[in-house]
A and B are shown apart, each in its own frame.
Chain A
Amino acid sequence: MLEINDIHKAFGGLQALSAVSLSVKEGSITGLIGPNGSGKTTLFNVITGFYEQDRGTVELRGNSIGDLPPHSIANRGMVRSFQIPQVPRDMTVMENMLVAGQRLTGENPLAVLLRWPAVRRQGKQQIERAEALLDRVGLLDQRDEVTGSLSGGQVKLLAIAQTLMTDADLLLLDEPTAGVDLALTDQIMELLKDIHAEGKTMMIVEHKMRVISGVCEYVYVLDAGKVIASGEPTAVQNDPHVIEAYLGGDAASGSREWE
């Protein structure tokens, strides 16, 4: 579904990504792991159009999307979340969900002012969908709270719910459990598995091995901008290169990331 070929990206003198190639099969959950600074988020940014690659191609369902702006890519059914969630602090949870709706007539100011019936009709549908999704992630009670008052974990759940709201087929989630406690991590893992069971394709960036092995079918390992291993989680976990990458630099932090 998603083919990434030979991506190179440099910032000034720093080569962030070198010859990165990977593919995400339709209907799968693919993981992308690596130590901090290995280029995972950079790769995400390149794939989703926030950065432009120096070399290489990105193809979604066979169509090249390498030079498209992020919103066009999102319109084609591939949506991402952010490692540090961007939340409009003064908007309510419900509004955050509603804004994720796609192809809304209500985003046309003329339609709003002239009261086209589609606006009202879609409004109702969107509210119902949003409430169902919020209920699913357990945020329905916070529906009318401003996001600035949510906890970090709740914000993470909201971000995932937002991606579901877009009805995209391919979800790219950047560290969905970062900074989240153990119990919530389990909850999110269950949620991800449910989403997968419903037929969504997902690619998840994580540096917690536990999450990757619990959820993903196939894993790519990134280190210093290069893919150093790929395969099923158990195989990758035992790959000596991977172990060295995680534990080689700093034993203390490496083993913590390993979880």
Chain B
Amino acid sequence: MLAFLIHFLVMTGIFAIVALSLNFQVGLTGLSNFGQAAFMLIGAYTSAMMYMAGVPFVFGVLAGMVVSSIFALIIALPSHNLRADYWAIVSIAAAESLRLFVNNEKWLAEGPFGIRGIPRPLSSLFGDSYTLFYLVFVVVCLAAVYFALERLNRSPFGRVLRGLREAEDLMEALGKDVFRFKALAMIVGGLVAALGGSLYAHYITFISPETFAPDVTFLIWTMMIVGGSGNAKGVLLGALVITLLNTSTRLLKDYLYLPSSLVAALRTLSIGVLTIGFVVARPQGILPERRHVVSYGKEEGGS
């Protein structure tokens, strides 16, 4: 039971990190990025391959972040003045093309077979209680990401991003290079998602192109919409709720002896229904975005 709880919390933590990254790009800046799975893929593959080649874990993760930043630019460059629907299509197309590439080029990363047996860092040190250690590790990363992104949100940088959401022309007129800010938002979000991908790879120890299908992106989107786009605490809540939904349907499989493909389909169905439900009935999510009250000496966020 405890093992299950720890596993659940680790998964929640990892997905919460990716959801926060998406929130930064979508909730805050208003970029309709549907390629998040690709950033996770980059982080996962880069850190896995580098660690297995003997590079220290931290450097592998950082390398993943660097590669994801480049990918973020690739998406941002042709798209920067396009409408939201075009952004969605371009980002999905880019993500799928990347996934196709990794799938086809077997020399790169075993193609469709994926990478198995990804070693877990410091596993020899912790032996049986490794998952608990990993949970602490994930929570530390999550906290760091949360506070860093919140800091950015409340800063002048974050203000421009939020201004971009609805008043792009105004931002240009006030001297802000809109493309630069959009690109930076994509880069920051991208490298946080890559971190999430790395954490995933070294925990689950198996990744393949199939792992990072667009379904994962839609899952993260649902977390953000349900929890509250634009509100970091809300997004955390959304990650918790959706991961709960996901893991509980797995319990369903074990207790009701339903075939796993059916359970997977029911899971996707409930995600779809949840998304539609919230979009129609409560688009601001469970915890809506709060206004930012700025005062002397200390800038406070309202959330």
B-contact 0/1 string along A182-210, CB 8 Å cutoff: 00000000000000000000000000000
Asked if residues A71 and B167 are in contact (CB atoms below 8 Å), the reply is: no
Pick from B173, B175, B294: contact of A95, CB below 8 A.
B294
Asked if residues A146 and B291 are in contact (CB atoms below 8 Å), the reply is: yes
Asked if residues A113 and B152 are in contact (CB atoms below 8 Å), the reply is: yes
Most A CB atoms within 10 A — which of B156, B160, B165, B178?
B156
Asked if residues A91 and B292 are in contact (CB atoms below 8 Å), the reply is: yes
Complex formed: what's the CA distance from A238 to B292 in Å?
51
Knowing A91-B291, A95-B159, the reply to whether A107 touches B188 (Cβ < 8 A) is: no
Asked if residues A108 and B157 are in contact (CB atoms below 8 Å), the reply is: yes
In the assembled complex, the CB of A212 is this many whole angstroms from the nearest CB of chain B, namely: 23
Asked if residues A87 and B294 are in contact (CB atoms below 8 Å), the reply is: no
Give B147's nearest chain A residue, CB to CB.
A113
Knowing A79-B175, A99-B163, A99-B171, the reply to whether A112 touches B155 (Cβ < 8 A) is: yes
Complex formed: what's the CA distance from A50 to B293 in Å?
32
B-contact 0/1 string along A20-32, CB 8 Å cutoff: 0000000000000
In the assembled complex, the CB of A253 is this many whole angstroms from the nearest CB of chain B, namely: 28
Check if A64 is an interface residue, CB within 8 A of chain B. no
Check if A80 is an interface residue, CB within 8 A of chain B. yes
Check if B282 is an interface residue, CB within 8 A of chain A. no
A-contact 0/1 string along B278-295, CB 8 Å cutoff: 000000000001011111
Knowing A108-B157, A109-B188, the reply to whether A71 touches B177 (Cβ < 8 A) is: yes
Asked if residues B156 and A80 are in contact (CB atoms below 8 Å), the reply is: no
Give A126's nearest chain B residue, CB to CB.
B156
Complex formed: what's the CA distance from A74 to B169 in Å?
12
Asked if residues A91 and B162 are in contact (CB atoms below 8 Å), the reply is: yes
B-contact 0/1 string along A56-95, CB 8 Å cutoff: 0000000000000111101100011110011111111011
Check if A177 is an interface residue, CB within 8 A of chain B. no
Give A97's nearest chain B residue, CB to CB.
B294
Pick from A49, A95, A109, A144: contact of B157, CB below 8 A.
A109
Asked if residues A69 and B163 are in contact (CB atoms below 8 Å), the reply is: no
Knowing A88-B167, A106-B156, A124-B297, the reply to whether A113 touches B148 (Cβ < 8 A) is: yes
Knowing A82-B169, A88-B165, A107-B160, the reply to whether A100 touches B289 (Cβ < 8 A) is: no
Residues of B close to A123: CB separation below 8 A: 156, 299
Check if B125 is an interface residue, CB within 8 A of chain A. no
Asked if residues A95 and B169 are in contact (CB atoms below 8 Å), the reply is: no
Check if A127 is an interface residue, CB within 8 A of chain B. yes
In the assembled complex, the CB of A19 is this many whole angstroms from the nearest CB of chain B, namely: 26
Knowing A112-B155, A113-B148, the reply to whether A75 touches B175 (Cβ < 8 A) is: yes
Residues of A close to B299: CB separation below 8 A: 123
Asked if residues B160 and A99 are in contact (CB atoms below 8 Å), the reply is: yes
Knowing A95-B294, A124-B296, A124-B297, the reply to whether A90 touches B155 (Cβ < 8 A) is: no
Asked if residues A112 and B157 are in contact (CB atoms below 8 Å), the reply is: yes
Most B CB atoms within 10 A — which of A49, A99, A106, A113?
A99
Give A120's nearest chain B residue, CB to CB.
B297
Check if B184 is an interface residue, CB within 8 A of chain A. yes
Check if A237 is an interface residue, CB within 8 A of chain B. no
In the assembled complex, the CB of B184 is this many whole angstroms from the nearest CB of chain A, namely: 6
Check if B176 is an interface residue, CB within 8 A of chain A. yes
Check if A98 is an interface residue, CB within 8 A of chain B. yes
Asked if residues B170 and A86 are in contact (CB atoms below 8 Å), the reply is: yes
Complex formed: what's the CA distance from A87 to B230 in Å?
17
Asked if residues B160 and A112 are in contact (CB atoms below 8 Å), the reply is: no
Complex formed: what's the CA distance from A206 to B292 in Å?
34
Give A100's nearest chain B residue, CB to CB.
B174
Complex formed: what's the CA distance from A178 to B241 in Å?
48
Residues of B close to A107: CB separation below 8 A: 155-157, 160, 176, 181
Asked if residues A119 and B155 are in contact (CB atoms below 8 Å), the reply is: yes
Check if A162 is an interface residue, CB within 8 A of chain B. yes
17 further A-B pairs in the complex, CB-CB below 8 A; given A99-B163, A113-B151: A71-B175, A72-B177, A87-B170, A90-B289, A92-B294, A94-B294, A99-B156, A102-B175, A107-B157, A108-B157, A109-B155, A109-B157, A112-B152, A112-B157, A122-B156, A127-B294, A144-B294
29 residue pairs from A and B, CB less than 8 Å apart:
A70-B169, A71-B173, A71-B176, A74-B173, A79-B173, A79-B174, A82-B173, A86-B167, A86-B169, A87-B167, A88-B162, A91-B292, A92-B293, A92-B294, A96-B163, A98-B159, A99-B159, A99-B163, A104-B156, A106-B156, A106-B157, A107-B157, A112-B152, A112-B157, A119-B155, A127-B294, A144-B291, A144-B294, A146-B291
Residues of B within 8 A of A (CB): 148, 151-152, 155-157, 159-160, 162-163, 165-167, 169-178, 181, 184, 188, 230, 289, 291-297, 299
